[in-house]
């Protein structure tokens, strides 16, 4: 088994670690922004580097107005360099040592960087394409876009809301998955903005074409495409197919448009591909009609490896079942439990959540010292929290398999409804007739 795993990791090393004249080190990024007041915005590019490649450069951010005029080019501040490779604590990566290899670690690694810029937007235009790009995508990609240029773009729309913040990702991209394992992964996107009536924005998720430039997409090798970027269980022809009812829950390649939850089972160890997810931000206008007010993207490279000794952990639904949504009433406290489990004999699971970033005032407490901990979600929403669509949070389970962790994430929805309220008045009439009037309700007469 160790010899097999050694050969697998050697293969991944050859795919990721070969150095070419071109700087093939980009493995992903996303762009978000925050309104600092009036016309000033803080733009952040979160980018991911292959640690077998060259050092990360500080490339400027561009903002192109839709109504014409000069493109704004903003040089940003570079920070970060955090190793986010999904390996166990005792394993080394190529981000920590160029000599890292099996059995003490893995021959690859991914670092996270931030490029931030403060820009003042002109008042004569309200829509901007916010973009960032660099050369090049990895030489190790096996599905077509080898050495393609790298480009990502978002849409900043001030036409409806002059000081709008973009949605943002609370979960880092997971770029490493095991072949033959059911993957359930959620990006953990959140949006803090509300309209003038206190209603929050809604989000929609779509698979998108990875880009080389504003006008060109990456080059796919047939039969791969942006909707079918890897060899999954059921490949090809069953990606986001709402009419196909697979016999197994992990057949197909699906992205839930409402939750952003990605689900698939990769079937080909050694495959390296790219994936882009577009997140649209929507808000109702004065007439109650939904209007698109912006979009962001996440572009990432995915590696599929054979993990013969490990299976991913399991995150249950609410109270140990399959349900992932629950109704809450404003003004009433309510709690439920989420369980973790792992079928591998020696694995333990670490459970985390992004509740503190997505649902203010809610709590998610995880048992300590347990091999398979439970998490307890509690919240007392107020009347101000009532809205027509669910609040969402993500629970992630990570096992302690070495050198590569197994990982699962699952999205949960909380729908907050108004609490029933009632009042009444009583009127005493002739001959002992008493009339009650309830609000809301009907008039009832009792004698």
Q: Could you tell me if 249 and 320 lie in one domain?
A: no
**118 and 90, same domain (yes or no):** yes
Query: pLDDT tens for residues 264-287?
Result: 999 999 999 999 999 999 988 878
Position 14 scores a pLDDT of 37
Pair (207, 351) in one structural domain: no
Greater confidence (298 vs 69) lies with: 298
**DSSP 8-state class, residue 298:** E
Is the pLDDT at 41 greater than 90? The verdict is yes
Strand 176-178 and strand 168-169: pairing? unpaired
Phi/psi of residue 366, each to 5°?
-105, 135
**155-178 core/surface letters (b: 16 or more CB in 10 A; e: else):** bbbbeebeebbbbbbbbbbbbbbb
pLDDT at 246: 60
pLDDT of residue 24: 62
- Tens digits of residue pLDDT in 19-30: 343 456 788 999
Stretch 176-183: mean pLDDT: 87
Give a yes or no: residue 210 inside a domain. Answer: yes
pLDDT above 70 covers a percentage of the chain that reads: 87
Residue 142: count of CB within 10 angstroms of its CB: 19
The reported pLDDT for the residue numbered 363 is: 98
* Count of domains forming the chain: 2
Residue 415 lies in a domain: no
Which of these three, 256, 275, 306, is where a domain ends? 306
The CATH number of whichever domain residue 356 belongs to comes to 2.60.40
Question: Domain limits at 385?
Answer: 314-401
Q: Give yes or no for a contact between 66 and 163, defined as CB atoms under 8 angstroms apart.
A: no
**In-domain check, residue 395:** yes
Give residue 3's pLDDT.
44
Q: Do 124 and 47 belong to one domain? A: yes
Q: In sequence order, what are the beta bridge partners of 254?
A: 263
Residues across the chain: 447
pLDDT of 418 above 70: yes
- Are 208 and 133 contained in the same domain? yes
Do 246 and 369 fall within a single domain?
A: no
**50 in a structural domain:** yes
> Are 206 and 257 spatial neighbours (Cβ–Cβ below 8 Å)?
yes
Mean pLDDT of the chain: 86
Report yes or no: 112 and 29 within 8 Å, Cβ to Cβ.
Answer: no
For residue 17, pLDDT over 60 is answered with no
- Residue with the bigger pLDDT between 340 and 183: it is 340
Is the link from the previous residue into 327 a cis peptide, with omega within 30 of 0? no
Choosing from 263, 285, 306, the residue where a domain stops is 306
Q: Tokens standing for 140?
A: 């190790």
Residues 191 and 281: beta-carbon distance below 8 Å: yes
Is the peptide bond preceding residue 30 cis, with omega within 30 degrees of 0? no
Please indicate, yes or no, whether residues 45 and 105 belong to a single structural domain of this protein.
yes
Model confidence at 350, pLDDT cuts 50, 70, 90, reads very high
Reported as a pLDDT band with limits 50, 70 and 90, residue 196 is: low
pLDDT at 428 > cutoff 80: no
How far apart CA 105 and CA 82 sit, in angstroms, is 17
Are residues 127 and 65 in contact, defined by beta-carbon separation less than 8 angstroms?
yes
Distance CA(154)–CA(175), nearest Å, equals 21
In a domain, 318, yes or no: yes
Of 304-308, 312-316, 432-436, least confident by mean pLDDT is 432-436
Token reading at 194: 């509300």
Q: What is the DSSP letter of 18?
A: -
Specify whether the CB–CB gap between 186 and 411 falls below 8 A.
yes
- The number of beta carbons lying within 10 Å of the beta carbon of residue 283 is 22
Residue 322, number of CB atoms within 10 A of its CB:
7
The predicted pLDDT at position 423 comes to 64
CA distance 112 to 130: 20
| The pLDDT value given to residue 290 | 87
Q: Same domain, yes or no, for 259 and 377?
A: no
Same domain, 300 and 323: no
The residue to which tokens 């480009």 are assigned: 151
- Sequence-distant (6+) residues with CB within 8 A of 372 are 339, 340, 341, 342, 348, 349
Strands 110-120 and 334-341: unpaired
Q: Which tokens belong to 188?
A: 């953990």
Distance CA 267, CA 253 (A): 12
Higher pLDDT, 240 or 9: 240
Is residue 114 domain-shared with residue 202, that is, in the same domain?
yes
End-to-end distance of the chain based on CA atoms, in angstroms?
Answer: 86
Which range (36-50, 232-246, 357-371) has the least confidence?
A: 232-246
15 within a domain of the structure (yes/no): yes
pLDDT class of 18 with cuts at 50, 70, 90: very low
| Banded model confidence at residue 395, pLDDT cuts 50, 70, 90 | very high
Ramachandran quadrant class, 145 (left: phi over 0; alpha: psi -120 to 50; beta: rest): alpha
Same domain, 224 and 271: yes
Q: What is the CATH classification number for the domain harbouring 296?
A: 2.60.40.10
Burial 289-300 (b: 16+ CB within 10 A, else e): eeeebbbbbbbb
Residues 245 and 387 in one domain: no
Residue 446 lies in a domain: no
Q: Please give the sequence-ordered ranges of beta strands (E in DSSP) within 58-134, or none if there are none.
A: 61-65, 72-74, 77-83, 110-120, 127-134
- Of 264, 284, 306, the one marking the end of a domain is 306
């Amino acid at each position: 088994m160790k010899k097999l795993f050694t050969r697998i990791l050697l293969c991944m090393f050859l795919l990721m670690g070969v150095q070419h004249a071109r700087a093939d080190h980009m493995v992903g990024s996303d762009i978000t922004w925050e309104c600092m007041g009036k016309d000033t915005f803080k733009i952040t590019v979160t980018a991911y580097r292959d640690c077998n490649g060259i050092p990360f450069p500080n490339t400027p951010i561009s903002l192109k107005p839709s109504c014409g005029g000069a493109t704004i080019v903003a040089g940003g501040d570079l920070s970060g360099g955090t190793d986010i490779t999904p390996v166990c604590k005792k394993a080394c990566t190529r981000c920590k040592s160029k000599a890292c290899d099996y059995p003490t670690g893995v021959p690859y690694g991914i670092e996270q960087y931030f490029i931030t810029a403060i820009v003042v937007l002109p008042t004569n235009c309200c829509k901007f394409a916010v973009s960032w790009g660099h050369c090049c995508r990895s030489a190790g990609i096996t599905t077509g876009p080898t050495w393609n240029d790298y480009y990502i773009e978002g849409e900043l729309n001030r036409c409806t809301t002059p000081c709008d913040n973009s949605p943002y990702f609370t979960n880092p991209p997971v770029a490493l998955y095991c072949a033959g394992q059911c993957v359930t992964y959620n990006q953990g996107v959140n949006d803090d903005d509300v309209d003038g009536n206190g209603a929050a924005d809604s989000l929609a998720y779509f698979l998108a074409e990875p880009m080389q430039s504003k006008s060109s997409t990456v080059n796919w090798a047939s039969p791969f495409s942006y909707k079918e970027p890897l060899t999954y269980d059921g490949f090809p022809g069953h990606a986001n197919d709402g009419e196909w009812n697979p016999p197994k829950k992990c057949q197909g390649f699906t992205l839930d448009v409402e939750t952003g939850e990605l689900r698939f089972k990769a079937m080909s160890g050694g495959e390296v591909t790219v994936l882009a997810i577009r997140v649209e931000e929507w808000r109702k206008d004065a007439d109650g009609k939904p209007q698109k007010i912006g979009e962001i993207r996440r572009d990432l490279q995915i590696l599929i490896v054979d993990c013969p000794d490990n299976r991913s952990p399991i995150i249950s639904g609410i109270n140990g079942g399959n349900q992932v949504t629950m109704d809450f009433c404003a003004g009433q406290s309510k709690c439920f439990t989420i369980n973790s489990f792992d079928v591998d004999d020696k694995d333990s699971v670490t459970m985390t959540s992004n509740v503190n970033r997505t649902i203010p005032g809610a709590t998610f407490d995880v048992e300590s010292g347990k091999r398979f901990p439970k998490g307890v979600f509690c919240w007392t929403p107020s009347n101000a929290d009532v809205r027509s669509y669910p609040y969402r949070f993500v629970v992630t389970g990570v096992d302690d398999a070495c050198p590569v962790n197994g990982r699962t994430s699952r999205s949960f929805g909380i729908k907050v409804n108004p609490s029933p309220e009632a009042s009444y008045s009583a009127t005493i009439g002739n001959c002992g007739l008493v009339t009650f009037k309830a609000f809301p309700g009907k008039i009832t007469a009792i004698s």
